Amino acid sequence: MEELLKVGSKMPDFDTIDQHGNKVNSKALLGKPAVIYFYPKDDTPGCTVEACEFRDNISQFKDKGVNVFGVSVDDQASHKRFEEKFNLNFPLLVDKEKKISEKFGVLGERSAKRTTFIVDDKGIVVYVMPKVSPKGHTSEVMEHLKELKLVK
């Protein structure tokens, strides 16, 4: 297993799709700060709390020019069901082959470990939040974005 990506590291290259089948690659994330949060499984209690908090606060991130991406090892159909059930309003990236989770160093035995990365507009990891608690996570992320002066 890869080591957890550290602050100062370049975001690893990856190519995948989101819940709608849209192609997403790491290069497309450049130009704006991004929050990339890994979570274990679609439609499980903690993951639902975390996703719904991002959903409810997404305008705060978008208004400040920050993109949010959820990533798990679930497939596209699972992501689509999860999005529809909870009206999620941001991309859920498919990591069925577990390569993205592995490159970021968050791959557990069967799934991604709940970990959030803040990446600047140049693709450099500027903050890592391992062992995330789902409740209250989005406000924590926003505080770090402000502290890092990535947003006002």
Every domain of the chain and the residues it spans: 15-147
pLDDT on residue 152: 78
Residues known to be catalytic: 47
pLDDT of residue 151: 85
pLDDT for the residue 131: 86
Q: Is 102 exposed, middle or buried (0-12, 13-18, 19+ CB in 10 A)?
A: middle
Q: Which CATH number fits domain 15-147: 3.40.30.10, 3.30.70.60, 3.40.50.20, 3.10.50.40?
A: 3.40.30.10
Distance from C-alpha of 4 to C-alpha of 131, rounded to nearest angstrom? 12
> Rounded to an integer, what is the distance from CA 97 to the centroid of its chain?
17
The per-residue pLDDT for 1 is: 53
Q: If the chain, 152 residues long, is cut into consecutive pieces of 10 residues, what is the mean pLDDT of each piece?
A: 87 97 93 96 95 96 96 98 98 96 94 96 96 92 93 82
- The answer to whether the beta carbons of residues 112 and 72 sit under 8 Å apart is yes
pLDDT at residue 13 in the model: 96
Contact between residue 91 and residue 83 where contact means Cβ atoms under 8 Å apart: no
Neighbours of 12 (CB within 10 A): 16
pTM (2 decimals)? 0.96
Give how far Cα 51 sits from Cα of 4, 10, 30, Å: 22, 25, 23
